């Protein structure tokens, strides 16, 4: 039986990817950030998952205004890193896990979450930067990845509560897969940031820290945050935090907080990172 061992949350700023691609990680500007991920990289080596289920948002890369799925699961064998305008990032092709992905899609759709199923898409920094943060820059990624793209570009994204419930359905789906696999749910986005308009650069550390506290101990409370509150308190793009509730929903109610890191800034953004482990998921 497959099982979810832990979930890892991290911001996914494109500049972090650029810093790695251009070998700038030792510069004073970037040092504090990469130092904050040293523990996590070690932890990932010691708790290597068989599959990563990666919740992220597409930044107008695979999905233009022609099609905007609210939840889209990748069931492909592989995903090419996209050219977002700067040229494709020099990172390995992302290998999928079509069998588990198809199983999850079937299970959650029958559980009344109407996913879009995607067999061909390119993946952007929203997916590859978190992999770099946790795995470094290997010649190939250490395990297959199942992408779940969540719309946070066109208002409204799914509600936080919907995301949390989706996480519950995801947990059920993974647990009903017959093969013995250790699945890590990895999620990205946030924390507080706004990257447009005269309010660009907004950071609300108080909001972010309270969010991390509740994510660990009282996630139900987070499901009541409205879209308006995210946008007002955490910036227009802070609304990406709804995605974190998918991962949290996929975990048990009581979890162990393994690690937490928070820093400001990375480019325009507050970077939050937390590892939560299921007590039963060893």
Partner 1 sequence: MALDKPYLDVPGTIIFDADQSRKGYWLNQFCMSLMKPANRERFKADERAYLDEWAMTEEQKQAVLARDLNWCMRTGGNIYFLAKIGATDAKSFQQMAGSMTGMSEDEYRAMMLGGGRSIEGNRYLGEDGDAQPHRQPQGARPAPRNKA
List 4, 51, 54, 82, residue binding partner 1 (CB under 8 A): 82
DSSP 80: P
195 contacts partner 1 (rule: CB under 8 A) = yes
Find all residues with CB under 8 Å of 184, minimum gap 6, and list them.
Answer: 4, 5, 6, 7, 8, 47, 49, 51, 52, 53
Task: Give me the catalytic one of 12, 125, 227, 273.
Answer: 125
Q: Are strands 51-56 and 145-150 parallel, antiparallel or unpaired?
A: parallel
Chain centroid offset of residue 202 CA: 21
Dist. CA 107–CA 110, nearest whole Å: 5
When asked if residue 203 is in the footprint of partner 1 (CB under 8 A), the reply is: yes
- By residue count, the chain amounts to 282
* Beta-carbon contacts of residue 130 (< 8 Å; ≥ 6 apart): 10, 12, 54, 56, 186, 187, 188
Site string for partner 1, 88-127 (x = CB under 8 A): ----------------------------------------
Binds partner 1 (CB under 8 A): choice among 13, 101, 225, 247: 13
Applying CB under 8 A, the span of 80-88, 104-112, 162-170, 245-253 interacting with partner 1 comes to 80-88
Of 102-110, 217-225, 243-251, 259-267, which part binds partner 1 (CB under 8 A)? 259-267
Give me the torsion for CA of 221, 49, 59, 27, rounded to 10°.
Answer: 100
Site string for partner 1, 122-161 (x = CB under 8 A): -------------------------------xxxx-----
Where along the sequence are the contacts to partner 1 (CB under 8 A)?
Answer: 13-15, 18, 59-61, 64-66, 82-87, 153-156, 192, 194-207, 227-228, 231-233, 236, 264-265, 267-268, 270
């Amino acid at each position: 039986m497959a099982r979810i061992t832990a979930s890892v949350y991290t911001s996914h700023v494109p500049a972090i990817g650029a810093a790695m691609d251009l070998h700038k990680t030792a510069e004073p500007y970037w040092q504090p950030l990469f130092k904050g991920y040293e523990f996590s990289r070690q932890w990932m080596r010691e708790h290597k998952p068989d599959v990563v289920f990666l919740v992220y948002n597409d930044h107008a890369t695979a999905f233009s205004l022609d099609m905007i799925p609210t939840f889209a699961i990748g069931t492909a064998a592989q995903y090419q890193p996209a050219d977002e305008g700067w040229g494709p990032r020099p990172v390995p092709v992302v290998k999928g896990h079509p069998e588990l992905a198809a199983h999850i899609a079937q299970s959650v759709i029958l559980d009344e979450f109407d996913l879009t199923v995607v067999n061909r898409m390119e993946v952007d920094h929203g997916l590859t930067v978190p992999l770099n943060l946790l795995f470094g820059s290997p010649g190939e990624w250490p395990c297959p990845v199942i992408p779940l793209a969540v719309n946070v570009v066109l208002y409204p994204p799914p509600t936080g509560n919907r995301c949390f419930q989706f996480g519950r359905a995801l947990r059920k789906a993974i647990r009903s897969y017959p093969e013995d696999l250790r699945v890590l749910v990895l999620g990205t986005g946030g924390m507080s940031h706004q990257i447009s308009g005269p309010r660009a650069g907004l950071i609300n550390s108080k909001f972010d820290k309270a969010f991390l506290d509740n994510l660990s101990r009282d996630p139900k409370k987070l499901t009541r945050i409205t879209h308006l509150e995210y946008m007002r308190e955490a910036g227009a793009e802070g609304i990406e935090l709804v995605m974190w509730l998918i991962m949290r929903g996929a975990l048990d109610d009581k979890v162990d907080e393994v690690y937490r890191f928070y820093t400001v800034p990375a480019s325009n953004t507050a970077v939050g990172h937390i590892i939560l482990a299921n007590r039963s998921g060893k």
